[in-house]
Amino acid sequence: MVAQLIDGKAIALQLRTGIHDEIAQIQQKHSDFKPNLTIIQVGDRQDSSTYVRMKLKAAEEASIDCHIIKLAADISEFELLNEITRLNNSLDVDGILVQLPLPAHIDETKVTNAVLADKDVDGFGPFNVGELSKKGGQPLFLPCTPKGIMELLDVSGVTVEGANAVVLGRSDIVGKPIARLLTKANATVTTLHSKTPQAQIELFLSQADIVIAAIGQPQFVQGSWLKEGAVVIDVGTNFIPDATKKSGSRMVGDVDFESASQKASLITPVPGGVGPMTVATLLENVILAARRHYAKNNETPKFTEPLTLHLQKPVPSDFEISRAQQPKKITQVADEAGILESEVEPFGAYKAKVSLDILKRLHNKVNGKYVLVTGITPTPLGEGKSTTTVGLAQALGAHLKKNVFANVRQPSMGPTFGIKGGAAGGGYSQVIPMDEFNMHVTGDIHAITMANNLLAAAIDTRMFHESTQKDGPLYKRLVPAKKGVRKFTNSMLRRLNKLGIDKTDPDSLTPEEVTRFARLDIDPETITWRRVVDCNDRFLRGITIGQAPTEKGFTRETGFDITVASECMAILALSNSLEDMRERLGKMVIASNRAGEPVTAEDIGCAGALTALLKDAIKPNIMQTLEGTPVFVHAGPFANISIGASSILADKMALKLAGTSPDLSAEERQQQEGYVVTEAGFDFTMGGERFINIKCRSSGLVPDVIVIVATVRALKVHGGGPEVKAGAPLAAEYTQENTELLRAGCSNLGKHISNARSYGLPVVVAINKMSSDSEAEHAIIREEALKAGAVDAIVSNHWEEGGQGAVDLANGVISAANLPERNFKFLYDTEPSVEEKIATIAREMYGAGEVEFSPEAQKKIDLYTKQGFGNLPICIAKTQYSLSHDAALKGVPTGFTFPIRDVRASIGAGYLYALAAEIQTIPGLPTHCGFMNVEVNEDGEIDGLF
């Protein structure tokens, strides 16, 4: 018998041609599909260079983008591992191949283990090797040579199942994995090696139907050892002397080809057998990796791993519920949501920062559905808006299996330790761990505090130095010589550009230019920038600074705000990128000079440092709900004087993660897309109006549906019920059925629905169920809501039942979010005057008859208009307890005079804010404070929160 050759070259060419055609076919639909293989070669070994060139050529022929990184032979192991980490984190790299062998001083196992499993196209990493070794294991990639061998057997028509196979060799690269693959294909496999006695080798080979020779010894296997008709796969690549060859040597396998070909039925030649298949299957693995990565970047994962709730009645405290639930590791939560390992920066086990690189990776995806949760005019008891946000997200994810994000603000510790409590939701619909959520999270608020107060210190310091120095010395100290060279900083160059001075050499400025540049000439009476602290400290509302003798009598009156009232916080919420945040921070107006011109943080030279302090804070934080669905916790602008909503960046990232491939049909998209549930502070008429007219203007996003949360209790207050106070017993009107009071109060709900509908968006009312409610009362709310124009009004019991209690609400939100009719519009254009925009909000949203501007407010409006800020949107700071400026006016007051006592500028954030009546920008503490209940137990756990 003369064996038939298994032509590895021809089979590999066919495989590579198929890969080329597959790429072309995918690219017809997805032009941005570009598979990439990056090969790391350490040193200059001739054989390694030969193999690398072969792989590069084959990749190019198959239309795979292939890059080679050549590193010096003496590179340290640490440097090599860093390079692998960089490639692991690169969105442009699909496959990483480390060309072996490596220099002796480098641990090959440590290096191959460092390659991410989903980029380990060699199949050498611990995940892929381990999965291959397990019964039922699912490796992402098979090692290339064993995979190529199995392909050769398959194409050649060899029956593996039931065959007696002998693997000669036990290397991690060939011997062990091919033995495992043959076993999985139901062959009976014997593994022999160089220490097996030759007699035993001959005996086993004489009975083998399939022989895989990978022992690394030239021409070791003799034809006389083989079973008649055996299939022989020769993996060996050995060089023996041959004077007839120009190189003086020739390549042979581990099998004596001449004798074996007389006994075998099929045999692979060397070269031209297994070698070409190794390269071809490597490329096949790269395509597999690229397809997975492309799918990861375009498909919407379904939520499939909810945490189980163990519901109790009566419902325990929020703290007890949170403590009883074991959260997932945050890395698991992120992975389930479609976030890559390289995009997650864990802060402990249950919270993490998420990289903005997600927006770049997922830029092609069509956004998921955008759900805005707001409420009716609240009472001091709160109506469950955050609880509804979380419960709705749990219903969508844990029960309806949608990819979902709840996006909420980071709570200030002022209310946490005061009287309001935390902002994690409540009952069986909350963010966990709730103690970590309510305290610090990852420190963003502290970063805001530091940035804000750095600017405050810089303002007073600049004024002090300008008051104590003449122009020349002041300029020299502002732009000092370092090693004999003077240079303007980036901020200084921006200020020069603002002044119209086109110079970059500090020594070239004229005396007049020096004065204009160096002297900000801040008018102390116009300073609007205050220091901040994340605490309810009423005694900091008004202070005098500069009383130490070192300040030489430079004193002025100022005060503190709470950190979440800082413009830096509003900018964090409204920025669209790191670069955008840098520009906004520079534009913050902190005062006017004595000529009436605005002075900015850029003029102070502080914007770059503020950005540096906030460069990590700009990354959203990820946590989870009680049922394990993901939550973005980011930014926390004060809801009275700012937008009261979480960040644009968190919303944009969540919408991409919940988004779908652009190539889907409308029906496919509706089936696959996910949902982002975000909330706006207080009621729709405050938080929702700002969300749309300020936040949506900045982000370019528009909600698909608005959810308005209502409670029987709050509507009764607006119907004329007795006053309610936190901590005080409720009157009988609120604990017993009272349909007359309720129906009267539904006018408040109707006004909010009408206000929301004026933006051209569908509205769903969430009736947040409480134990004292009656079905008749729920029916009245639904009747009045539909009459006012809501798409639906649905009872939700998420506080008591978690996501299961909000499934009906979730289905209603899905239906409303997919309604075809949309006629979105803003409430006002930005071109009209400041007075007109304020009047439009007051009349249309609040029901005011007219607006009254105090002399101080009018003076500010005139100044900001003169300074060029009159075309900004408006944020009105007022009480949350009434549609009007007066907390005592419940229901739907109309025709009242709306007083504007002051107007301030948040130019970096991008709006002016008008203060109606009295609004405190730093709350005070009550007699009995929340902090009085807080302790740390012997296990180091926080007790006593809510």
592-651: per-residue pLDDT in tens?
999 999 999 999 999 999 999 999 999 999 999 999 999 999 998 888 788 999 999 999
Q: How confident is the model at residue 929 (pLDDT cuts 50, 70, 90)?
A: low
pLDDT of residue 509: 95
At 34 the three-state DSSP class reads: coil
* Catalytic center residues: 55, 99, 122
What is the C-alpha separation between 121 and 124, in angstroms, rounded? 8
pLDDT of residue 186: 96
pLDDT of residue 931: 59
Please name each of the domains of the chain with its CATH number. Answer: 4-290 (3.40.50.720), 318-442+626-818 (3.40.50.300), 445-614 (3.30.1510.10), 834-915 (3.10.410.10)
Per DSSP, helices labelled H in 519-589 are 567-574, 578-587
Q: How confident is the model at residue 383 (pLDDT cuts 50, 70, 90)?
A: confident
State the amino acid at position 641 in one-letter form. I
Res 349 pLDDT > 90: yes
For residues 826 and 693, the answer to whether their CB atoms sit within 8 Å is yes
pLDDT of residue 231: 97
pLDDT of residue 945: 61
Query: What phi and psi values does residue 255 have, to the nearest 5 degrees?
Result: -115, 140
> 30 burial class (0-12, 13-18, 19+ CB within 10 angstroms)?
middle
The first and second tokens of residue 400, run together, are: 């309806």
Res 928 pLDDT > 70: no
For residues 753 and 791, the answer to whether their CB atoms sit within 8 Å is no
Q: How confident is the model at residue 942 (pLDDT cuts 50, 70, 90)?
A: low
Q: How confident is the model at residue 411 (pLDDT cuts 50, 70, 90)?
A: confident
Query: What phi and psi values does residue 855 have, to the nearest 5 degrees?
Result: -55, -40
Query: What phi and psi values does residue 849 have, to the nearest 5 degrees?
Result: -85, -45
What is the C-alpha separation between 769 and 711, in angstroms, rounded? 7
- Quick one: which H or E segment has residue 911? strand 911-916
Provide the residue count of the chain. Answer: 946
pLDDT of residue 725: 82
- Quick one: which H or E segment has residue 832? none
The first and second tokens of residue 194, run together, are: 């160089």
Q: How confident is the model at residue 416 (pLDDT cuts 50, 70, 90)?
A: low
For residues 406 and 371, the answer to whether their CB atoms sit within 8 Å is no
Mean pLDDT value of segment 879-904: 94
The first and second tokens of residue 245, run together, are: 């060859």
Please give the sequence-ordered ranges of beta strands (E in DSSP) within 362-499, or none if there are none.
369-375, 404-408, 425-426, 429-432, 481-482, 485-486
Find where tokens 């669209």 sit. Answer: 576
What is the C-alpha separation between 667 and 671, in angstroms, rounded? 6
The candidate with the shortest Cα–Cα distance to 413, out of 403, 404, 423, is 423
pLDDT in tens, 160-179: 999 999 999 999 899 999 99
| Percent of the chain at pLDDT exceeding 70 | 96
pLDDT in tens, 421-475: 556 889 999 999 988 888 889 999 999 999 999 999 999 999 999 999 999 999 9
What is the C-alpha separation between 824 and 760, in angstroms, rounded? 4
Res 681 pLDDT > 70: yes
Res 503 pLDDT > 80: yes
pLDDT of residue 414: 61
pLDDT higher at 692 or 381: 692
What is the C-alpha separation between 902 and 904, in angstroms, rounded? 7
Mean pLDDT value of segment 545-569: 90
Res 505 pLDDT > 90: yes
The candidate with the shortest Cα–Cα distance to 532, out of 642, 632, 423, 621, is 642
Q: How confident is the model at residue 299 (pLDDT cuts 50, 70, 90)?
A: confident
Query: To the nearest whole number, what is the mean pLDDT of the chain?
Result: 92
Res 1 pLDDT > 80: no
Res 925 pLDDT > 70: no
Res 557 pLDDT > 60: yes
What is the Rg, in whole angstroms, of the alpha carbon atoms belonging to the chain? 35
Mean pLDDT value of segment 186-196: 96
Mean pLDDT value of segment 709-715: 96
Res 930 pLDDT > 70: no
